[in-house]
Amino acid sequence: MKRLIFATHNPGKIGEMRQLVADLGMDVLSADEAGVHEDVEEDGTTFAENALKKARFVASTTGEWAVADDSGITIDALGGRPGVYTARWAGEGASDEELVRHTLEQLKDVDEGKRGASFHSVVALVSPEGEEWTFEGIVEGTVVMSTRGTPRPKLPYDVLFCPIGHNHTFAQMPDEEKNALSHRGKAFEKLKKFLQNKKTL
């Protein structure tokens, strides 16, 4: 395995992935760079299903190793919503601001001590032969009463989510601190350990 195709069109995610595996001597290409411009419909009922669906599509299309991730927030007071609908529960094409506003509206009658939430991320790895692995990262925290911090592009919930044991939201943290704590960071660290072991086999 000398290169991975990341099933995303998000340059920020590609940058994170390249940084993560830099010491493994692997090339990471975006789906676009690998000639895959189509998207699959993310209609799975779990993060793992959606991540696997994206990685399978890219692996079968390119004949190469593919990786994909799916992530979202689950809010206790809302019965686990929005979950897999995190990016679109305010409506298809909703902006980051609309997603934040919708979330706060849903929680307007929920007291500060009852706003527990979890961020989940599942990273899927699929081989050209169709072998599959998934790696999960979870971080527990709370949804704050109002937005705090500077939002990152395409990461709207960072201004609302405060991890347990910390007084700052993800949006108030520098990238390095957030990545060390985040659900996606934990999932990708598990992937990296797997790749390191695979290189030594």
Burial 147-170 (b: 16+ CB within 10 A, else e): bbbebeeebbbbbbbbbeeeeebb
- What residue type is 201 in one-letter code? L
CA distance 140 to 9: 28
141: tokens are: 């925290």
Set 27, 39, 70, 111: catalytic member: 70
What is the sign of the dihedral through the CA atoms of 30, 186, 91 and 145? Answer: negative
For residue 83, give the DSSP letter. Answer: G
111: annotated active-site residue: no
C-alpha triplet 175, 178, 180: angle, nearest 5° = 105
Sequence length of the chain is 201
Give the SS3 label for residue 175: helix
Catalytic residue list: 70
